[in-house]
Chains A and B, each alone.
Chain A
Amino acid sequence: MDNVSTLAAPALDVARIRKDFPLLQQATVYGLPLVYLDNGATTQKPQVVLDTLEQYYTGYNSNVHRGVHHLSQKATDAYEEARKTAAGYINAQYSHEVIFTKGTTDSINLVASSFGRTFLQGGDVVLISTMEHHSHIVPWQMICEEKGAELKVIPINERGELLMDEFSRLLDERVKIVAVTYVSNTMGTINPVKDIITQAHARNIPVLLDAAQAIQHITIDVQELQPDFLAFSGHKIYGPTGIGVLYGKEAWLNKMPPYQGGGDMIKTVTFAKTIYNELPYKFEAGTPDVSGAIGLAAALNYLQQVGLEKIQQYEEQLMEYALQALQQVPGIRFIGQAAHRSGAISFLVDDIHPYDLGELLDKQGIAVRTGHHCTEPLMDLFKIPGTVRASLSFYNTFEEVDKLVAAVNRAAAMLR
């Protein structure tokens, strides 16, 4: 493609990066080499993460915070070291501000339930946005229903950007929390979260950021950005499934009651009264996902070794190239054309059903996601049944983008 020459030299040696990911080396579909462009759904794992999991299970698998024996101590140390790594990755002030959860959904449910039970009353407002994932709508809907609070929604423009004037207008004294996504999983829009946080804080309203689609693409410094809560999943940032992070400011977490009861979250238990443990254990009932946490730390360390700045720079080049290349597909229509974007590209071609397109891309070895991407209200707004979504990672190549474009052209020609 001609476009390559118009761009600067790639910021990363992708051929070398790809050697770190065994699945990318091995996987073929229908006899074709896999082109994996479904990174918004989940990412592939580098060898170092797989090795870390194996070392844990073959070398020191043991329950944490309990035994006096050597292995338990070793596992506890590794688990707590993982917490420090995660805290360092987002530059949290204290490592006990990092709560290990099952994932973004679990983190959001924790806040919605625990914050909501304490701070929401009838007539209060929870402010979310039109582009939220179902995981960032439903937990708030549930607690609002329980408390008689109201869910209000920040609207967007036709390019898929938040209407910030509307946001300012909606931000009144009834609002008790603002809960928005950092990056849209469907459209890739990067929201002006700094501005949102500044405006909310001016009125003493806390902000929860869903960073599930941001953490793997954008450097996040919570002390600089100042969100009150931030949620992300391990598996979308090259770590294992089943582990996630909730970052919360110490002051807020201390004011919130435990989300679930169980082992590890208590100091003392009598039938009359239980004294809860301190942070972060207060929010980690039951045996945690020890291997997941250690695996996630390995992934975060790996990314830091590659270099977050280089990753971000390369992903921007790749996004720019992909948008230019796809633009040349006759009849293509992008869903979401925000000025600032990352990760996901959603599109439709003519009036071809996204399922049909996705299926023919699959048969050409290209993994994309089709459907509503768990953002049905957004699909309703655009009056479409769904989109085809290609989501990029730093291990994707320019050649893979070319293959996507060729495959879309071939599929569209068959389906028109």
Chain B
Amino acid sequence: MTINEKQDELVADFSMMEEWMDKYEYIIQLGKELPLIAEQYKTDDNLIKGCQSRVWLHTELKDGKLFFTGDSDAVITKGLISLMISVLSGQTPKDIAATEIYFIDAIGLRSHLSPTRSNGLLSMLKQMKLYAVAYKAKMES
């Protein structure tokens, strides 16, 4: 599936849930289920700075594709990280670098990507794209 197909699928899933609390129930479930990152990668180096809820991100390149793992100390943020990773992980650096993330906005959680919120999700997305751009440049050189 392409990045956008995955995004569209998530938007469709969320549109079935009418109540806000149901949407959150689902996000929290994702957040609780996924031990996203191996403990050894939960280092200060992988900690995304400037966030009030802490977010860790680890990136690996395998067979020309990028794989992300991440974590947060806030469970809603963790659920959203899990969604973000499910959309972007396993895609090529080229595709990730070029992508526009619209599903967060479409499911009504735009505030999570607001710079004033400083919950780490926006910084994480920026970091993911930075890695993608860097790997893309490396692969092209």
Contact surface of A with B, Cβ cutoff 8 Å: 30, 352-353, 355-356, 359-360, 363-364, 371-372, 385-386, 410, 414-415
Contact = CB atoms under 8 A, between A and B. Distances in A.
Contacts of B25: 414
Q: Which of A352, A360, A386 has the most CB of B within 10 A?
A: A360
B52 A363 contact: no
Interface in B17-58: 20-21, 24-25, 28, 52-54
3 closest A-B pairs by beta carbon, nearest first, are A353-B74, A363-B20, A355-B74
B20 A355 contact: no
B73 interface: yes
Given A355-B119, A356-B75, A359-B76, A414 B53 contact: no
B53 A360 contact: no
Nearest to B53: A355
Interface in B111-129: 119
B66 to A, nearest CB: 28
Nearest to B119: A355
Nearest to A372: B52
B92 interface: no
Given A356-B74, A414-B25, A30 B20 contact: yes
A353 B20 contact: no
B77 interface: yes
A386 B24 contact: no
A414 B74 contact: no
A363 B21 CA distance: 7
Contacts of A355: 52-53, 74, 76-77, 119
A373 to B, nearest CB: 11
A106 B119 CA distance: 29
Contacts of A359: 24, 76
Chain B's interface size range is 10 to 19
Contacts of B20: 30, 363
Contacts of B53: 353, 355, 385
Contacts of B74: 353, 355-356
A105 B103 CA distance: 40
A415 B73 CA distance: 12
Contact of A415 (B52, B54, B75): B75
A359 B21 CA distance: 10
B25 to A, nearest CB: 6
27 contacts: A30-B20, A352-B75, A353-B53, A353-B73, A353-B74, A353-B75, A353-B77, A355-B52, A355-B53, A355-B77, A356-B28, A356-B74, A356-B75, A356-B76, A356-B77, A359-B76, A360-B24, A371-B52, A372-B52, A385-B73, A386-B52, A410-B21, A414-B24, A414-B25, A414-B28, A415-B28, A415-B75
A139 B75 CA distance: 36
A161 B99 CA distance: 52
B114 to A, nearest CB: 13
A168 B20 CA distance: 53
Contacts of A371: 52
A362 to B, nearest CB: 9
A282 B25 CA distance: 58
A360 B27 CA distance: 12
Contacts of B77: 353, 355-356
A305 B3 CA distance: 62
A372 B52 CA distance: 9
A363 B77 CA distance: 15
B24 A363 contact: yes
Contacts of A364: 21
A364 B21 CA distance: 8
B23 to A, nearest CB: 9
A117 to B, nearest CB: 33
Contacts of A414: 21, 24-25, 28
Given A355-B53, A415-B28, 13 more contacts: A352-B75, A353-B74, A353-B75, A355-B76, A355-B77, A356-B28, A356-B74, A356-B76, A359-B76, A363-B21, A371-B52, A386-B52, A415-B75
A385 B52 contact: yes
Contacts of A30: 20
A30 B54 CA distance: 28
Q: Which of B74, B75, B119 has the most CB of A within 10 A?
A: B74
Contacts of A363: 20-21, 24
Most buried by B among A352, A371, A414: A414
A353 B28 CA distance: 12
Nearest to B74: A353
A165 to B, nearest CB: 34
A371 B117 CA distance: 10
Nearest to A386: B52
Q: Which of A353, A364, A414 has the most CB of B within 10 A?
A: A353
